[in-house]
Amino acid sequence: MFEFKNVYIDKFYTVVSKKEANGNIKNPDKVMNDYYYGEKTPFKCEVKMLNEVLNNLPSSDLVIASNLENQLASSNISMKNRNTPYMGLYSACASFSGGITTIANFIESKAINRGTLLISSHNLNAEKQFRFPIEYGAPKVKRSTQTATCAIGIHLTNQKTNIKVLNGTIGNVVDSYIKDTYNMGAVMALSAYDCLINHLAKTNTNIKDYDLIITGDLGKVGSKIFKELCNRNGYKLKNYLDAGEILFGETSTSGASGPACLPLIYFYNLINIKKYKKVLLLSTGSLHNPEMVNQKETIPSITNALTIEVQKWQYFIPSCFVEQFV
């Protein structure tokens, strides 16, 4: 667990598809008309989305990026010719909290003054990578999730603003003993519980210390398992949401998935709700690839925790700088 005294968020920017824009987020910065954004392939679309985000954020001493592509290819290409130090980080859908924690450590240690976390996923790219290409027409089962199409950037600084990063906990890799790639919520629920109890113990806090606890993309199936695990062990979750379950609104599947679900719901919905001042964000990630699945391995998962607090409430307008303290 890492504690931070001088790490703040001063700007965020996102590009989403119509599906996300029509769901439970408010005022996204840019909405695409389709899954191609004027490009010939979904991969080039994701690169263009990332470039759009980078071009609308302040310069940084370091960019850390994560996505679901092989070798983080889309973010690698988006960073070409930018002359900015860059690190690729892969924690699957747990990369948001892990990435913020990593940049925050650089800022807290005074190695850098400002940094950017870049997160993206694309439904067509992820389905091809981890299950089947959409063109195959493989049916979606109720326990499955749909990968969100989004690129989002979060700019961190050592200059005081209204949004403070308090601490972060890096999670353990937990074996789910599940082999079903359509059941990602169930795969990640155990690591979410493991990370929650570890974070509470290491920070000497309890459930009531947070205005909200939110997981990344457990969906209807995974969040039900997570709540049952918590309740059985004495953690009564009355202030809990799952970003994946609510991102798209009502769906025939378990909900949304992808590393951008959690930051989308937090920065483009919950942050403007006054009662959610201190929020614990649990980014959940399934750590599998096609080779593991083909070899009948069980799927491990990881969850990283992050605590963010709104210091002084304001209405956060997308594309604008967060109000700074003078």
SS (H, E, C) 69-92: CHHHHHHHHHCCCCCCCEEECCCH
The partner residues of 2 in beta bridges, in order of sequence, read 168
Q: Which of 259, 243, 248, 280 is nearest to 72 (CA)?
A: 259
Q: Which of 57, 61, 169 is nearest to 107 (CA)?
A: 61
The answer on pLDDT for 78 being more than 90 is yes
290: part of which helix (H) or strand (E)?
helix 290-294
* Residue 324 counted as domain residue: no
Choosing from 102, 132, 157, the residue where a domain stops is 157
Is 148 in the same domain as 182? Answer: no
Measured in degrees and rounded to the nearest 5, phi and psi for residue 85 equal -55, 140
pLDDT at 320: 54
Q: State how far the alpha carbon of 268 is from the alpha carbons of 15, 217, 247, in Å.
A: 12, 16, 11
* Residue 67 counted as domain residue: yes
Overall domain count for the chain: 2
The answer on pLDDT for 91 being more than 80 is yes
* Residue 326 counted as domain residue: no
Is 97 in the same domain as 181? Answer: no
Q: Which of 25, 6, 7 is nearest to 16 (CA)?
A: 25
Is 134 in the same domain as 184? Answer: no
The answer to which of 62-76, 152-166, 242-256, 278-292 has the lowest mean pLDDT is 242-256
Tell me the average pLDDT across 222-245. 93
pLDDT over 90 percentage in the chain: 65
State the pLDDT confidence band at 326, using cuts at 50, 70 and 90: very low
* Residue 319 counted as domain residue: no
Is 100 in the same domain as 203? Answer: no
Is 65 in the same domain as 176? Answer: no
The answer to which of 39-43, 142-146, 287-291 has the lowest mean pLDDT is 142-146
Choosing from 157, 185, 218, the residue where a domain stops is 157
Pairing of strands 8-16, 30-31: parallel
* Residue 124 counted as domain residue: yes
Tell me the average pLDDT across 102-110. 97
pLDDT at 203: 96
Is 170 in the same domain as 135? Answer: no
Is 277 in the same domain as 228? Answer: yes
Tell me the average pLDDT across 268-274. 90
Is 115 in the same domain as 26? Answer: yes
Is 12 in the same domain as 142? Answer: yes
pLDDT at 138: 66
Tell me the average pLDDT across 245-265. 82
* Segments forming the whole domain that contains residue 226: 163-310
* Residue 207 counted as domain residue: yes
Is 178 in the same domain as 299? Answer: yes
Query: In this structure, what CATH number is given to the domain that contains residue 19?
Result: 3.40.47.40
* Residue 254 counted as domain residue: yes
Q: Which two tokens stand for residue 137?
A: 């027409």
The partner residues of 11 in beta bridges, in order of sequence, read 155
Is 298 in the same domain as 168? Answer: yes
If one compares 97 and 133, the residue with the highest pLDDT of the two is 97
pLDDT at 132: 61
pLDDT at 272: 87
Is 109 in the same domain as 202? Answer: no
16: part of which helix (H) or strand (E)?
strand 8-16
Distance CA 273, CA 256 (A): 22
Tell me the average pLDDT across 110-120. 96
pLDDT over 70 percentage in the chain: 90
The C-alpha torsion from 40 through 43 and 48 to 51, rounded to 10°, is: -160
Residue in this structure with the two tokens 């119509």, named with its chain if needed: 18
State the pLDDT confidence band at 258, using cuts at 50, 70 and 90: confident
pLDDT at 118: 96
* Residue 323 counted as domain residue: no
Tell me the average pLDDT across 132-151. 74
Say whether 198 sits in a helix, a strand or coil: helix
The answer to which of 6-15, 84-93, 222-231, 248-257 has the lowest mean pLDDT is 248-257
Query: 319 exposed, middle or buried (CB, 10 Å; 0-12, 13-18, 19+)?
Result: middle
Tell me the average pLDDT across 184-213. 95
Q: What is the DSSP string of 31-66?
A: E-SSSSTTSSSHHHHHHHHHHHHHHTS---SEEEEE
pTM for this model (two decimals): 0.91
Distance CA 138, CA 140 (A): 7
